[in-house]
């Protein structure tokens, strides 16, 4: 600096935290109900380390009925929106997710619903 040929060394270090989401409760069990009656539950989606706005998408399972027909008895709603937003304090706001199930035929199901962001994480 200032025409001085001395060398200056700057060392930088940092930690990269990948975005992730967790759920409360961590698994969902819907109560048995009569045929064609809706049952539902609410979960909280807790995003962490999202530095820019992103939208949560849900891939719902398609189930096979006894007659080889396929159905999707689940619906998902985000009553307050499905966008993950960075708050002014640097944290991400939680999302509320309402999951419902209704079927005209008897069935049970054990499986996964996949929640992804705009980058398919």
Give the domain extent around 101: 20-116
- Asked if the peptide bond before residue 79 counts as cis, ω within 30 degrees of 0, the response is no
11 domain-assigned? no
CA distance 95 to 91: 13
Please state the rounded mean pLDDT for residues 106-114: 86
For the chain, first and last CA: distance in Å? Answer: 45
Read out DSSP for 28-39? --PPP--TT--E
Residue 105: per-residue pLDDT:
84
45 domain-assigned? yes
Residue 5: per-residue pLDDT:
65
Confidence of residue 1 (pLDDT cuts 50, 70, 90): low
Please state the rounded mean pLDDT for residues 78-94: 92
Residue 49 gets the label, from left (phi > 0), alpha (psi -120 to 50) or beta, of left
Question: Structural domain tally of the chain?
Answer: 1
8 A C-beta contact, residue 92 and residue 115: no
pLDDT per residue over 24-72, tens digit each? Answer: 999 888 988 999 999 999 999 999 999 889 999 999 988 877 777 788 8
Tokens standing for residue 98: 């309402």
The residue whose two tokens read 């998902």 is 76
Using a pLDDT cut of 90, give the percent of the chain over it: 51
pTM, full prediction: 0.78
Residue 10: per-residue pLDDT:
84
104 domain-assigned? yes
Q: What is the CATH number of the domain that holds 92?
A: 2.60.40
8 A C-beta contact, residue 108 and residue 68: no
């Amino acid at each position: 600096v200032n025409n001085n040929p001395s060398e200056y060394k700057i060392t930088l270090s940092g930690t990269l935290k990948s975005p992730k989401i967790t759920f409360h409760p961590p698994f969902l069990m819907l109560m048995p109900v009569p045929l064609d009656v809706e049952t539902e539950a609410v979960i909280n989606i807790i995003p962490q380390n999202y530095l820019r706005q992103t939208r949560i998408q849900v891939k719902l399972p398609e189930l096979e009925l006894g007659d080889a027909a396929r159905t999707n008895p689940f619906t998902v709603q985000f009553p307050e929106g499905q966008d993950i937003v960075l708050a002014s304090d640097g944290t991400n706001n939680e999302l509320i997710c309402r999951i419902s199930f209704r079927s005209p035929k008897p069935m049970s199901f054990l499986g996964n619903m996949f929640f992804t962001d705009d980058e398919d994480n």
